[in-house]
C-alpha cells in the first residue's frame, strides 16, 4: 500500500470509494448512506459489486485474527455495500420509505 491508501494495490481502483465508504462502524455507514446522493451510492455500488467475489477470495487468503489493515478496510467496504444495496436496488432513495426520521442505532459491533 502506498502512503495515504487504505486498500491493497490490486484494489486501487476502489480507493476513492474506500476513502468515503470504508467506515469502521455500522452507524457511521448508515449515516453516510443518509448523507449520500443516489448518484454517489449508485457509483459506489456499480464499482464494488462486480468485484465482490474477488474481494472475498482475497480476504480468504488471510487467517481471521491476522487481517492487515488493508483487508479490514475491504471488509468495511463490503459492509457499506450491504448498507447501500437496498437503497439502490429497492428503495431508490437513501432513506427507508415510510420510516420518517426513525433510526435503529447499532450498539454492538462485531470484533475485527
Closest C-alpha among 34, 20, 19, 21 to residue 104? 34
Burial class (CB in 10 A: 0-12, 13-18, 19+), 85: middle
Q: How far is the C-alpha of 24 from the C-alpha of 108, rounded, in Å?
A: 12
- What pLDDT is stored for residue 52 in this prediction? 97
What pLDDT digit, counting tens, does each position of 46-103 carry? Answer: 999 999 999 999 999 999 888 999 999 999 999 999 999 888 887 777 766 555 555 5
Amino acid at each position: 500500500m502506498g502512503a495515504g491508501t487504505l486498500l491493497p494495490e490490486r484494489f486501487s481502483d476502489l480507493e476513492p470509494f474506500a476513502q468515503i465508504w470504508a467506515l469502521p462502524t455500522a452507524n457511521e455507514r448508515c449515516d453516510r448512506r443518509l448523507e449520500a446522493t443516489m448518484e454517489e451510492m449508485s457509483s459506489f455500488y456499480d464499482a464494488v459489486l462486480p468485484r465482490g467475489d474477488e474481494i472475498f477470495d482475497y480476504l480468504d487468503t488471510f487467517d481471521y485474527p491476522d487481517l492487515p489493515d488493508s483487508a479490514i478496510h475491504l471488509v468495511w467496504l463490503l459492509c457499506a455495500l450491504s448498507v447501500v444495496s437496498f437503497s439502490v436496488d429497492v428503495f431508490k432513495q437513501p432513506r427507508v420509505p415510510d420510516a420518517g426520521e426513525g433510526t435503529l442505532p447499532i450498539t454492538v459491533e462485531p470484533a475485527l
